[in-house]
Amino acid sequence: MDANPQQVVDRRIGVVGCGQMGAGIAEMCARAGLDVVVVESDADGARRGRTRIEASLARAVRSGRLDEDGAQAVFGRLALTAALDALADRTLVIEAVAEREDVKTGVMAALDRIVTDPDAVLATNTSSIPIMRLATATSRPSQVIGLHFFNPVPVLRLVEIVPSLLTSQATRVRATAFVTETLGKHAVPAPDRAGFVVNTLLIPYLLSAVRMAESGFAPPEDIDAGMVLGCAHPMGPLRLADLIGLDTVQAAAEAMYAEYRDLHFAPPALLLRMVEGGRLGRKTGRGFYEYTAA
């Protein structure tokens, strides 16, 4: 990467995936005044992504965080498509697809072929997969970095910045400036170890709550009430697991267990059965709790 990282301002952003995380990242980038192209796997996925972003902007208007004109302006900066080639001219692309190593490495390899700017940064929003494994799927590992946002992206200010051993200093500086100066988020550097900083603490906590419910020690409502009312947490662990997505919690736990071989990271049988049964939490309408459409 030859460009001086202090002089680079990334304004052409690509996002791959428009689920909970991808939609939030795309919205946040558009709200920062950037030109954003979002790619989904097919036309139906792109339509669902558009609906998800529209709903989020509507909530922002209702809460007073955005006015109607502002919401329209944000949406005007977004283009949703099913064509990965639409990312060819992007200077920074963030993948936010399913938390599966094979899927993410496939996306990174495809971006490496498609994105034409030799100085482009390829970022991943993985919550647990080591960045090195994704970086080496490309021919430009020095320009691959982890940018781990948190759900809901428009609300939560933290982003973990995760370089691999091969990530250049220029990429680190540029990615950090994008997060802090362009998006106005708080950046925390994290080591390239499965789970990084936050999930290495969070996932064992969530799994402990699942085990408590699984054993019959206490029902989900009491477990969550204990942490909200007794420890001043804004949300109990089982509702938080539902919000994150139980499949994502399982994937993160498995990635960390594979790396650390610590039983605290081993997903409980109840979590495995719920994911197998399609009870993934808020996004499917049922997890530890039942949900109705917003």
Q: Which of 162, 189, 216 is the last residue of a domain?
A: 189
Residue pair 242/282 in contact (Cβ under 8 Å)? The answer is yes
Question: Does any domain span residue 252?
Answer: yes
- Convert the pLDDT of each residue in 101-125 to its tens digit: 999 999 999 999 999 999 999 999 9
159 lies in the same domain as 202: no
22 lies in the same domain as 161: yes
136 lies in the same domain as 214: no
> Which candidate in 40, 160, 164, 168 is catalytic?
160
Q: Please indicate whether residue 95 is annotated as part of the active site.
A: no
Q: What is the pLDDT of residue 1?
A: 52
- Separation CA 90–CA 105 (nearest Å): 19
- Candidates 131, 143, 130; CA nearest to 172 is 143
> Which candidate in 56, 128, 164, 199 is catalytic?
199
> Which candidate in 148, 151, 164, 168 is catalytic?
148
Q: For residue 152, is the peptide bond before it cis, meaning its omega torsion is within 30 degrees of 0? A: yes
Residue 35: exposure state from Cβ atoms within 10 A (0-12, 13-18, ≥19): middle
Q: For residue 205, give its domain range.
A: 198-284
Q: What is the pLDDT of residue 66?
A: 86
22 lies in the same domain as 141: yes
Q: What is the pLDDT of residue 293?
A: 65
70 lies in the same domain as 211: no
- Separation CA 122–CA 129 (nearest Å): 15
- Separation CA 140–CA 125 (nearest Å): 18
Q: Please indicate whether residue 127 is annotated as part of the active site.
A: yes
Q: Please indicate whether residue 63 is annotated as part of the active site.
A: no
pLDDT band for position 8 (cuts 50, 70, 90): low
> Which candidate in 56, 125, 127, 128 is catalytic?
127
170 lies in the same domain as 85: yes
pLDDT band for position 222 (cuts 50, 70, 90): very high
Question: Does any domain span residue 1?
Answer: no
Of all helices (H) and strands (E), which one includes residue 214?
A: helix 198-215
